[in-house]
Amino acid sequence: SQQGEEDPQALSIQEGENATMNCSYKTSINNLQWYRQNSGRGLVHLILIRSNEREKHSGRLRVTLDTSKKSSSLLITASRAADTASYFCATGSGGYNKLIFGAGTRLAVHP
Amino acid sequence: GAVVSQHPSWVICKSGTSVKIECRSLDFQATTMFWYRQFPKQSLMLMATSNEGSKATYEQGVEKDKFLINHASLTLSTLTVTSAHPEDSSFYICSAMKDYEQYFGPGTRLTVT
């Protein structure tokens, strides 16, 4: 079953603009992770934020986590055409840190 | 490193036949592996959790007799789609757990004709 819901479902921006994607979930989590997937390819792990963290940065990526609202956001700054992909959040929970993926956001960055 | 491979990367089979997909952790041992399915333009759906030396745990709605999982060693888990039908056509992705994190394979695209 899917726990996370993401919005927007699709996002189209120009190169250089920032892209923000949001993720909501329903149950308690160990951590929340963001992945990128190019069309028909495997997943690329972007960033992991633990349940006791509120914000994390990695290069042009900024992730926030609000456990009281059960939501997270991924900000990609100064986007590039190469950032065009689908982005998924995934919540990790339980002893195995089982991942449940959100529906994803399809990002298109136009040159 | 933590590299996970899948074989084959793509496969076409006829309806009614069985197909086996392998998931290997190349540079680490994984007691736990996971199998996901992804339909076009949709998200990944967890199918089952595979533990070395024991029976897999299937998610609700996943037929364990249709999707046979064998985790016979610490570096290999296999998923066999039995009596495949066109609706089983999908992208199957595995992951292996290391230090509480999952490392994903590149996926296997299955087409059932």
Can you tell me whether residue B42 is helix, strand or coil? coil
Min Cα separation B13/chain A (Å): 19
Is the minimum CB–CB distance between B5 and chain A shorter than 8 Å? no
Nearest residue of chain B to residue A35 (CA atoms): B104
Do A21 and A106 meet the contact criterion of CB atoms below 8 Å apart? no
A101 vs B41, B44, B91: nearest CB: B44
What are the E-state strand segments in chain B?
4-7, 10-13, 19-25, 32-38, 44-51, 57-58, 67-73, 76-81, 90-98, 101-104, 108-112
A40-57 average pLDDT score: 93
Total residue length of chain B: 113
The CA distance from A97 to B58, in Å, is 15
- What is the tens place of the pLDDT at every residue in A53-76? 999 999 999 999 999 999 999 999
Does A78 have pLDDT greater than 90? yes
**Would you call B102 and A103 a contact, using CB atoms and an 8 Å cutoff?**
no
pLDDT tens for chain B, 113 residues long, are 789 999 999 999 999 999 999 999 999 999 999 999 999 888 999 999 999 888 999 999 999 999 999 998 999 999 999 999 999 999 999 999 988 888 999 999 999 99
A77-91 average pLDDT score: 96
**Residue A3's pLDDT is what?**
57
**Would you call A2 and B45 a contact, using CB atoms and an 8 Å cutoff?**
yes
The CA distance from A11 to A98, in Å, is 28
Proportion of chain A above pLDDT 70, given as a percent: 96
Min Cα separation A76/chain B (Å): 20
Alpha-helix runs per DSSP H in B1-113: none
- Phi, psi angle pair for B8, to nearest 5°: -80, 175
**Chain A 23-82, CB below 8 Å of chain B: which residues?**
40-43, 45, 48
**Would you call B43 and A2 a contact, using CB atoms and an 8 Å cutoff?**
yes
**Residue A22's pLDDT is what?**
96
Do B78 and B92 meet the contact criterion of CB atoms below 8 Å apart? no
- What is the tens place of the pLDDT at every residue in B31-45? 999 999 999 888 999
Does A1 have pLDDT greater than 50? no
A43 vs B42, B97, B104: nearest CB: B104
- Phi, psi angle pair for A106, to nearest 5°: -90, 115
Do B16 and B84 meet the contact criterion of CB atoms below 8 Å apart? yes
Bridge partners (DSSP) of residue B11 are: B110
